[in-house]
Structure 1
């Protein structure tokens, strides 16, 4: 005997509804917006003091935070490992993941790590524990069109539209921009200080200045003009254009604390780097600094450093007076990066030479080689902080349009060194 025909239909209908409900629950759990925070379980590590030389190699770009952790970017995750001088990437010390938003930028100041997401969300994490300190809404990031490669270097070393800067009263402000809006957020607590509308793609960010300003390049209503916006209030403090500058003005920040944040100088030039000129930034109009005019020159402290014909020369940024020179670098040597108390030079043989920027004294010199990888590579993106330097190694000849396997030297493309 079976069920009557009508009852069979009812049972089938109920079964179909239950199946639909189960599928709906599964789909919701899989696709619904979510976040997963895995906090640290071990003790916060002490600052390491590794011997000078190559520390190791990594598959992704590390952001050194508080001289204790390495923070990395993944597609939908920001995470940290330890120790900071570990030879390889290790099991995450803490991790923060969101879905379905994508991670677009990471910055750090002190022991606070801020992540920015494709839906505009800002999430601040405590570096010692990985716990969420605050969440805030920011403008949705502009579509950059830039290729995000597997190391994630652009996300952690040069996150466009995400900057920090210190104010004179001791506060640190997070400045977040898109094509059409900028917001200032207090790093301690996540309180929004201001928001302003921006004109669109005819304006672009340069970075933030040590004097507490957001620097932009505005070509919306005429020749490109440098705009200085107060990071405390969002108000435009000044608009400036170098005398005799070409319409197609290019502006490059110099000597920044990290990425494009807290920059003490900039360099202006025309198309093809014509007529490059260096400028020191302060509370008033930029001041000409002839020592920063050469291509590749940068600022560290009060010293301008440039490599000319294989000779590194340090000059007073304000007077142009030569302070020191260092020879024997080779004709293709260049300034690779700077950080407080150190200027890093890369020789034609891929030796890393670190000098004291005040005296020109050599602090260290060693080959940027690890294992059997060799030194036959070209440098890509680079970052320096807390005495460490990390650099991408690219396969020669460099093919900017190649896939990651062709573009990078090895699967562990990032070399990390203690200087």
Structure 2
């Protein structure tokens, strides 16, 4: 005995509505904006004291945080592992994931890790626990960094994300994006200022140690270097190098990390291959001829670079030669950090020197296991005594997929110097 036709239609309609509601709920759960925070379940690790030499291989670029953790970027996730001197990447110590936004930048200072997302959201995490410290709205990024599977550009050189210290001692995070720039107090996430900025005719350079955001502004004609107060958002000064033309390329030099805390600039115009070096501070930039040349780095008060095939250290303020090392052979400086200059020789020896004296701190072959030395160094990073280097397959083909571009599936080699 069945239902009458009228009741049958009602039952069928109700069933269809229930199925539709169930499907809608499932789709919402899957596709709705969400975040998943997995905090640390173990104690904060102690600072490591690894032996000098190669530590191991990694598949992704690490950001060394507080000398205790390695922080990595994934497509929609930022996460950390430990110990900092572990031979391989391990299970996450903590993890933070967002959907559907994509991770586009990570910076860190002390025990604060700030992630930036494709929708402009800024999320700060406490590195000791992985807990969310604060959330803030930032400008939508003007562009996403070009990344391969190591995600090195996101953690080592994130575009539009800069740290600096204001005159009153507060650390400030500046985020720039499509037509907008904002300053945020790092400790609390409190917005300090926001301002509109031109697009298409303006580009960021980096931040200085003295609380300024540096940009190149070509919107009103000849390009000028603009210094903006990171604590207030006000333009403090505008400057043009003597003899500069309408076009100007400005590169940060002597940065604490990425493009943050940069103590110098190098300016160049069309046809100027070497560039001119300038120290930046509270006043106008000061000429520093010792920084002229694309291969010259700044470490503290020393300019270090290759001169006629020889690594030379000079005083950045006087230009006086302090030391030279003709015994090292061909190579190039791949990274610097306070108290250390890292030279990778053509034989793939990593040589670490004291920038003040040129004295050798360590030397070893930068290879792991049976990987060999037949690679070309890619992006490199140095912090807290560690060095990480991408290894690219020879000959380097920039158009190749990741498998053919990198030397191995774990292309990064991590070393303690």
Q: TM tier, shorter chain?
A: over 0.9
Which consecutive residues of structure 1, in runs of 5 or more, have no partner in the other structure? none
Could you tell me the TM-score, scaled by structure 1's length?
Answer: 0.98
Q: Does residue 85 of structure 2 align to residue 73 of structure 1?
A: no
CA deviation vs aligned residue, 1:241-272 (integer Å, no higher than 9, x gap): 11112332111111100000000011111235
CA shift at 1:295, angstroms?
A: 2.1
Tell me the distance in 1 between the aligned counterparts of 2:139 and 2:59.
Answer: 31
Residue correspondence of structure 1 range 169-180 to structure 2 within 5 A: 169-180=168-179
Residue of structure 1 in register with 2:214 after alignment: 215
Root-mean-square deviation (CA), in Å? 1.0
Tell me the distance in 2 between the aligned counterparts of 1:271 and 1:73.
Answer: 36
Identify which of 352, 365, 377 aligns with 1:379: 377
Runs of 4+ in 1 over 4 A off after TM superposition: none
Residue correspondence of structure 1 range 98-137 to structure 2 within 5 A: 98-137=98-137
Tell me the distance in 2 between the aligned counterparts of 1:129 and 1:193.
Answer: 26
Residue correspondence of structure 1 range 239-250 to structure 2 within 5 A: 239-250=238-249
Q: Give SS of 1:108's match.
A: strand
Could you tell me the TM-score, scaled by structure 2's length?
Answer: 0.98
Residue correspondence of structure 1 range 237-316 to structure 2 within 5 A: 237-271=236-270, 273-274=272-273, 276-316=275-315
Residue of structure 2 in register with 1:32 after alignment: 32
Question: How many aligned positions are there?
Answer: 417
CA deviation vs aligned residue, 1:124-152 (integer Å, no higher than 9, x gap): 000000000000000011124x5321101
CA deviation vs aligned residue, 1:30-89 (integer Å, no higher than 9, x gap): 011110000000010001010011111100000000000000000000000000000110
Tell me the distance in 1 between the aligned counterparts of 2:326 and 2:36.
Answer: 53
Residue of structure 2 in register with 1:236 after alignment: 235
Check 1:168–1:310 CA distance in 2 against 1; reply closer, same or farther (3 A cut): same
Q: Give SS of 1:405's match.
A: helix
Tell me the distance in 1 between the aligned counterparts of 2:216 and 2:392.
Answer: 31
Residue correspondence of structure 1 range 111-190 to structure 2 within 5 A: 111-144=111-144, 146-190=145-189
Tell me the distance in 1 between the aligned counterparts of 2:249 and 2:332.
Answer: 21
Q: Give SS of 2:266's match.
A: strand
CA deviation vs aligned residue, 1:82-141 (integer Å, no higher than 9, x gap): 000001100000000001111110000010000001111100000000000000000011
CA shift at 1:275, angstroms?
A: 5.0
CA shift at 1:168, angstroms?
A: 2.8
Tell me the distance in 2 between the aligned counterparts of 1:334 and 1:311.
Answer: 10
Tell me the distance in 1 between the aligned counterparts of 2:218 and 2:77.
Answer: 36
Residue of structure 2 in register with 1:341 after alignment: 339
Tell me the distance in 2 between the aligned counterparts of 1:222 and 1:123.
Answer: 37
